[in-house]
Structure 1
Amino acid sequence: MFRPFAKAPAPAYRPIGPERCVECALIHAASFAHPWNEADFERLLTGPEVVSDGAIEIRDETLSGFVVSRAAFDEAEILTIAVIAERRRCGVGATLLATHLSSLAARGVRRLFLEVDTENIAARALYAGRGFYQVAERKAYYRKGDLPPASALVMRLDLGGQV
């Protein structure tokens, strides 16, 4: 039966590696003014210190979102997180982040950091909802093409008991 307004099934959330570098680059390009390319992702996703998780569509095994962190001892930094436009604001980013926090905690990470554009209200709300709090601000951190650069908030999450 054809259902034109049927909701797509929820993606599966699991670790990803360099086999997803093309998809990561495409999603990143659609999400950021200064995206990373395929080679950037290939180098990054092969690093032993990198933890990466993806949202994989059940119907066709395509990537609809991902998050990448670099861990060192008991600390990590989220380097990037992105979700395709069609899957934004429907819980994919939140579930992806929760999955990733569990992956990091299982690796022994206790403190997690990230930078977020001060103007990205949706991302800031997502992070605050998971318990991240601001620890610093980087002025004129993000390039915005012809626009003035935007500042970044440095946020932290203590994973002990948060996951």
Structure 2
Amino acid sequence: MEGAFDPAFGEAWNRRQVSDALVLANCRCHLLDVKLQVPDANGKAAGFTLSRQILDEEELLLIAVLPAHRRNGIAGALMDRLIADARARGVTRMFLEMRDGNPAEALYRQHGFEPVGRRPNYYNRGSIAGIDAITFALGL
């Protein structure tokens, strides 16, 4: 899934970082294949979310869809699953953070997320310097 992240921004988590997060009791992952189904043991994921819950709040850490499968509804279906699962667990507010100008902003807004904060010049990695991070929130 590392191919789902633009290398210019240095945003990709590697397999070990994702695996390490998943052993934590408060982290969750949702996977979907190209048919918007949860892949079986032999199936291949086309996209995933990684989130963590603290008390009644949840943070979306990552959402990724392989480039070959974008614009097919996978990211929207992943967001729907993430939000429904969080509600079922009693989460009352969700957060996410993205770099200013990230095209995923439209997806987040379609799902009701609104900007609540900004970190000036937060992203200063690779060939990118001085891009703000924007925090979004969604009340559930």
- Into which bin does the TM-score normalised by the smaller protein fall? 0.7 to 0.9
Q: Distance in 2 between matches of 1:81 and 1:50?
A: 13
Distance 2:124 2:85 in 1: 31
Matched with 1:148 is: 129
CA contact (8 A) 1:51 1:104 kept: no
The residue identity in structure 2 corresponding to 1:31 is F
- 3-state SS of the aligned residue for 2:72? coil
Tell me if the contact between 1:140 and 1:151 (Cα under 8 Å) persists in the aligned partners. yes
* Aligned mates of 1:99, 1:129 — CA distance in 2: 14
Alignment length (residue pairs): 132
In structure 2, the residue corresponding to 1:61 is in which secondary structure? Answer: coil
Q: Which has more radius of gyration?
A: 1
- Partner in structure 1 of residue 22 of structure 2: 45
Q: Give the alignment's TM-score, normalised by structure 1.
A: 0.75
Task: Report the Cα offset of residue 143 of structure 1.
Answer: 3.3
Deviation at 1:89, TM superposition (A): 1.5
Q: Mapping of 1:69-80 within 5 angstroms?
A: 69-80=51-62
Paired residue secondary structure (1:99): helix
Structure 1: which 5+ runs fail to align? 1-26
Q: Distance in 2 between matches of 1:129 and 1:30?
A: 21
The Cα shift of 1:47 comes to 1.0
Q: Does the 8 Å CA contact 2:122/2:133 hold for their aligned counterparts?
A: yes
Q: Which of 75, 90, 99 is equivalent to 1:93?
A: 75
Partner of 1:47, secondary structure, is: coil
Give the RMSD, CA atoms, in angstroms.
Answer: 1.7
2:5 to 9, 27, 31: 31
User: Residue 46 of structure 2 aligns to a residue in which SS?
Assistant: strand
1:158 and 2:139 aligned: yes
The percent identity for this pair of structures is: 32
Structure 1 stretch 42-51 or stretch 139-148: which is displaced more? 139-148
1:54-69 superposed matches below 5 A: 54-57=31-34, 61-69=43-51
Over residues 3-52 of structure 1, what are the superposed CA-to-partner deviations in whole Å (9 max), with x where a residue is unaligned? xxxxxxxxxxxxxxxxxxxxxxxx13441432222211111011110121
1:118 Cα deviation from its structure 2 partner: 1.1
CA shift in 2, pair 1:119/1:144, >3 Å: farther
Runs of 4+ in 1 over 3 A off after TM superposition: 57-60
State whether structure 2 residue 97 is matched by structure 1 residue 115: yes
